[in-house]
Chain A
Amino acid sequence: MRLNPVSDNSDLFLLSIRKIINDILLKEMKSMEDINTIALVSSFDEDGSGDIADYISYEFSDNGDKTILISLKEESSGCNLKNKVREASADGIIKTGNLNLDYLSLDNLKRTSEFVINKESVKSLLNKLKEKYKRIIIDTSPLEENLSGFIAAISADGAYFVCNSKSNRGSMIHKYYSDLKDIGANVFGVIFNNAGKRIVRKIYKMDGRKHG
Chain B
Amino acid sequence: MNEISKKYIKLFFSRIWLLALLMAVSAGATYFAYKNSFEPIYEARIKMMIAINDKYANEVNIFDSIRSSQMAVVDVSQIASSEEVLSGVEKECGISQHVLENSITINAIPNSRIIEASIQTYSPELALMLLQSLDKNLYAKLQEIDGITYKVLNRPYADATPINSNEYLIFTGLAVLGGIFLGGLINIVIGESVLVNKSITPFDGFFENENILPVPASKKAKVEGVKL
Contacts and interface: CB of A to CB of B under 8 A. Distances in A.
Contacts of A166: 202
Contacts of A58: 223, 226
B214 A6 contact: no
B228 A20 contact: no
B227 A188 contact: no
User: What size tier do the contact residues of chain A reach?
Assistant: 35 or more
Given A96-B228, A188-B211, A198-B196, A13 B216 contact: yes
B216 A16 contact: yes
Contact of B213 (A19, A81, A101, A171): A19
B202 A192 contact: yes
Interface string A143-180: 00000000000000000100101111111011001000
A23 B212 CA distance: 10
B28 to A, nearest CB: 39
A98 interface: yes
B200 interface: yes
A42 to B, nearest CB: 12
A198 B203 CA distance: 17
Given A174-B203, A190-B207, A81 B3 contact: no
Contact of B216 (A80, A160, A168, A197): A197
Interface string A168-212: 111101100100000000011111111111111011100000000
Interface in A16-60: 16-17, 19-20, 23, 48, 51-52, 55, 58
Contacts of A129: none
A62 B2 CA distance: 43
A191 B215 CA distance: 7
Contacts of B102: none
A12 B220 CA distance: 11
Given A23-B213, A101-B226, A190-B213, 8 more contacts: A2-B225, A9-B216, A23-B211, A98-B227, A165-B202, A189-B211, A192-B213, A204-B214
Contact of B224 (A1, A189, A192, A203): A1
B223 A13 contact: no
Interface of B: 2-4, 196-197, 199-204, 206-207, 210-228
Interface of A: 1-4, 6-7, 9-10, 12-14, 16-17, 19-20, 23, 48, 51-52, 55, 58, 61-62, 80-81, 84, 96-98, 101, 160, 163, 165-171, 173-174, 177, 187-200, 202-204
A87 B64 CA distance: 104
Counting from the closest, the 8 A-B pairs by CB-CB distance are: A189-B211, A195-B214, A84-B228, A10-B221, A97-B228, A170-B203, A97-B227, A4-B224
B220 A169 contact: no
B228 to A, nearest CB: 4
Nearest to A48: B218
23 contacts: A4-B223, A6-B220, A7-B220, A10-B220, A10-B222, A13-B221, A14-B221, A16-B214, A16-B215, A51-B218, A62-B223, A98-B227, A163-B203, A165-B214, A168-B3, A170-B203, A173-B203, A190-B211, A195-B214, A195-B216, A199-B196, A200-B215, A203-B213
Nearest to A160: B213
A124 B215 CA distance: 32
Given A98-B228, A170-B203, A202-B200, A192 B215 contact: yes
